[in-house]
Structure 1
């Protein structure tokens, strides 16, 4: 049974602007789960690490998490850090804190980038 379907699109220059105004650490700590934050810091140990790659990483997570939120809303309202995005052979996979409570048995994630945009779709099964 499908619990929900969510989709989101992010204009990556918006993420770059947030990083420029607030700093990458501020944005990363706001939206990333502890596991994702650890991975982000390992991949980009310095503020001056390649900005485009940081934007793509943070923008992808933002996009996927928004799609998860939309898939469960209005029954459940998740917070950013309740969703962890990992990779399995290059494909994004989800770990939702207390996913069983929300009835999530399986999740399917699609993510695509094109120029200044990232788009994701999430299907949650119960």
Structure 2
């Protein structure tokens, strides 16, 4: 019997990140926090990052010159974005090789407070008008795992 193809045009991607590895990257040399964040975050996410952690230009400069001051919460947030974007690249219709870090936006939609917590999602910032993918992200101990489901 010939196998039937999957009935829906969907792609799935998953990624696991080890937090100590990201912490080592962010603190290994001066200026790497800024390089790392600029490499993986699109402009809106960079603004969200600076706002969330109250990073003025001088505060960012301090972290760049004293990398040991990068907080655990900051590391978790960046590791989560990295995992989500890597999973999204794997689920992208064109595949990871043709999807850049800055072509993906991780966003959390504001919901009605009575609805409970907001759900994160992926937006592919491409020429097709920003397709949305579903994102599940979880932090546990030293690991972050993300899974993305996106249309082909």
Question: Which TM-score band (shorter chain)?
Answer: 0.7 to 0.9
Structure with max Cα Rg: 2
CA distance in 1, matches of 2:96, 2:73: 34
Q: Is the 8 A contact 1:2 1:123 kept in 2?
A: no
Identify the residue that residue 74 of structure 2 maps to in structure 1: 54
Identify the residue that residue 32 of structure 1 maps to in structure 2: 41
TM-score, normalised with respect to structure 2: 0.72
1:3 Cα deviation (Å)?
A: 3.2
Q: Is the 8 A contact 2:124 2:131 kept in 1?
A: no
Which stretches in structure 2 are left out of the alignment for 5+ residues? 1-7, 112-117
RMSD: 2.3
CA distance in 1, matches of 2:96, 2:104: 16
Q: SS of 1:24's equivalent?
A: helix
Q: Which one of 41, 49, 59 corresponds to residue 50 of structure 2?
A: 41
How many residues are aligned here? 124
1:25 Cα deviation (Å)?
A: 1.1
CA distance in 1, matches of 2:102, 2:45: 9
Cα separation, partners in 2 of 1:36 and 1:3, compared to 1, 3 Å: same
Identify the residue that residue 149 of structure 2 maps to in structure 1: 123
Identify the residue that residue 85 of structure 1 maps to in structure 2: 106
- 1:66 matched to 2:86? The reply is yes
Tell which deviates more after alignment, 76-85 or 60-69. 76-85
Q: SS of 2:98's equivalent?
A: coil
